[in-house]
Amino acid sequence: MKEIILVKYGEIILKGGNRPKFEKILIQNIADAIKNIAETRITIAQATIYIEVKDEELLDVVCERLSLVFGIVSVTRAAVCEKTLESIKETALTYCGADLKPGRKFKVEAKRSDKKFPLNSVELSIEVGGYLHEACEGLVVDVHNPEVTVQVEVRDKHSFVYCRENRLRGQGGMPIGTGGKSTLLLSGGIDSPVAGHMIAKRGIELDAINFFSFPYTSERAKEKVIELASIIARYTSKINLYIVPFTDIQLAIRDNCPEEHMTLIMRRFMMKISEILAKKHKSQALVTGESAGQVASQTLAALDVTNSVVDMPVLRPLIGMDKTEIIERAHAIDTFETSILPYEDCCTVFTPKHPTTNPKRELVERSEKRLDVDALINAAVEGVEKIEVYPKL
């Protein structure tokens, strides 16, 4: 019995005359995601992408990989059969029979895209459902709360049969490459990887920046950030990670600025440097993992102080989320266990004991003037290390 993968997408359908452009990008992203896994043939028709896998033993591996591609709503292994009632019945019994056990509640849902097929969707559901109910001893019909839903799709060239419960849920969102490009400030913590995933889900390509304070932060901390970038890259493909040397800036702030302003001035430097790198590499916005009020540097007054040094948009997808919600998402995208590894990032090395929670911008700016800001920024930018990070599979 021949099997195929059916890929369904969501928001793209609403794009009207631009839909073919979005579909083309999604198909290319799919091809890139599975090119090193299996030899495939990809086609599209009637808002469904069909993927034929030459080695059917790799079907599950391909499905798992596709479930991480933004723009995809669901991924399903399905049996292919002829567009006749008898073929559909026999295929449904053979392909879904293992799920149709005595005592289980089931229903059949049919979708007839080919209007030339002699039965409409309701009639086809009744015919196939009756056949399965008779063929499978002890099977219970329940159209409201089924345990097993046998799905039948009659399309232009073939019919397809599968159990809906066996399909994989996709990431949803929009295909990467349809929403522009942003630069993620990626720390080694829990929040920023989640922020990157959420922004990428809107079709936005990501670069990433990490601020590294050797020897106060170890090589293990750097490896941790690279690991996090590689996990995010499962969803986005390759990420360019820029490692910024930050030690001299932090030491200068510590030695010359009031302690209560240290974190804010440090973050202002981060924003300025990130904007320079983002513009250099054609990004249109910065992305941070900040959540309103989570820490002293993330109060509204503090965010105003850090925002004021950049001109480009700053996207904060976690701004209204609490820590529990963020941790749940970190678990879902598989970054949590890496994020909690005990290697400090630069934000935790020079933490003041009593940071201000209601800073005045003019006072912070006055403190910052004690530094040679341009010289410190230029030196940091000149020392940037670029790392191409590929998906961790």
Q: What is the domain range of residue 52? A: 3-169
Q: Decide if 186 is inside a domain.
A: yes
- 164 and 191 inside one domain: no
- With respect to residue 57, please indicate whether it lies within any of the assigned structural domains: yes
What's the first-to-final CA gap in the chain, in angstroms?
29
162 and 191 both lie in a single domain: no
Spatial distance between the Cα atoms of 11 and 258, rounded to a whole number of angstroms: 50
Alpha helices (runs of H) in the chain, residue ranges in sequence order:
19-34, 59-66, 85-96, 121-135, 191-200, 219-236, 247-256, 262-280, 300-307, 323-333, 336-339, 346-349, 361-368, 373-382
Q: Give the strand pairing for 239-245 and 168-169.
A: unpaired
The answer to whether residues 92 and 234 belong to one domain is no
* The pLDDT value given to residue 216: 83
pLDDT attached to residue 349: 57
Q: In whole angstroms, give the CA distance from residue 355 to residue 388.
A: 36
Angstrom distance (rounded) from CA 142 to CA 145: 6
**pLDDT for position 293:** 79
Exposed/middle/buried for 42, CB within 10 Å: 0-12, 13-18, 19+?
Answer: middle
User: Partners of 389 in the beta sheet?
Assistant: 239
Q: Are residues 242 and 366 in the same domain?
A: yes
pLDDT of residue 9: 95
Task: Taking the CA atoms of 109, 114, 120 and 124 in sequence, report the sign of the dihedral they define.
Answer: negative
Angle between helices 121-135 and 85-96 (to 10 degrees): 50
Phi, psi of 214 (to 5 degrees): -70, 140
One domain, residues 123 and 201: no
| Inside any domain, residue 273 | yes
State how many domains the chain has: 2
Q: What is the pTM of this model?
A: 0.90
Question: For residue 237, what are its two tokens?
Answer: 């493909």
For residue 79, being part of any structural domain is answered with yes
Please tell me whether residues 302 and 253 are part of one structural domain.
yes
- At 256 the pLDDT is 95
Whether 197 maps to a domain, the answer reads yes
**Encoded amino acid at 313, one letter:** P
Q: What is the pLDDT of residue 332?
A: 96
In a domain, 175, yes or no: no
For residue 250 the two structure tokens come to 């932090």
3-state DSSP call for residue 353? coil
The reply to whether 280 falls in a domain is yes
Q: Tell me the one-letter amino acid at 212.
A: F
Mean pLDDT split into 10-residue runs, the chain, 393 residues: 95 91 96 94 93 95 96 97 96 95 96 92 97 95 96 94 94 96 95 98 97 88 95 95 96 93 94 98 97 83 92 96 96 96 68 76 94 97 97 79
CATH code at 197?
Answer: 3.40.50.620
Question: So what's the pLDDT on residue 301?
Answer: 87
pLDDT of 279 reads 98
Residues 201 and 337 in one domain: yes
Query: Are 363 and 282 part of one and the same domain?
Result: yes
Residues 88, 235 within the same domain? no
174 in a domain, yes or no? Answer: no
